[in-house]
Amino acid sequence: MNAREAIRGLTLRLPGISFFHYRMAFSGATKTFRRVIMNKAELIERVSKDTNLTKTDVENALNSITRWIKDCVKKNDEVKLIGFGTFTKTKRKARTGRNPQTGAEIKIPATNVPRFKPGKEFKDLVN
């Protein structure tokens, strides 16, 4: 196996649950990186293999966790997962924007948006 074959299937993963993973591939003589997004079904399959639980059990647990996080953030509660990050709700101020087709100014109303702030351990892992 040469270096090109060894690197072609290399997948870099974060420990625990990761919604994104990256694969390195070669395009001709130059190296190119392409981003591969892990969808929910692939996440369920990986967690199922890691934990020896059925896919149905993993899907139910994942749905419960995401529903719980959404409900808490909706009520202005913080959800802190030590080592992973914090989910919160923040207020985005009203602002003026432009219609890209006409160039006319438009008013964008204030709104609430969900926010995720990665924890120190997660940030250190990525850097």
Q: pLDDT digits over 6-28, tens only?
A: 444 444 344 444 444 444 444 44
Residue 36's closest CA among 58, 18, 57, 54? 18
Per-residue pLDDT reduced to its tens digit, 52-76: 999 999 999 999 999 999 999 999 9
CATH code for the domain in which residue 95 is found: 4.10.520.10
pTM for the model stands at 0.63
CA 26 distance to own-chain centroid: 25
**What DSSP string runs through 15-74?**
SS--SEEEEEEEETTEEEEEEEE--HHHHHHHHHHHHT--HHHHHHHHHHHHHHHHHHHH
84 & 69 share domain = no
Q: How many domains does the chain have?
A: 3
Answer whether 20's CB lies under 8 Å from 37's CB.
yes
Tell me the residue range of the domain where 24 lies: 1-38
Check whether residue 120 and residue 82 sit in a common domain.
yes
Same domain membership, residue 68 and residue 97: no
70 lies in the same domain as 84: no
What is the mean pLDDT of the segment spanning 88-107?
95
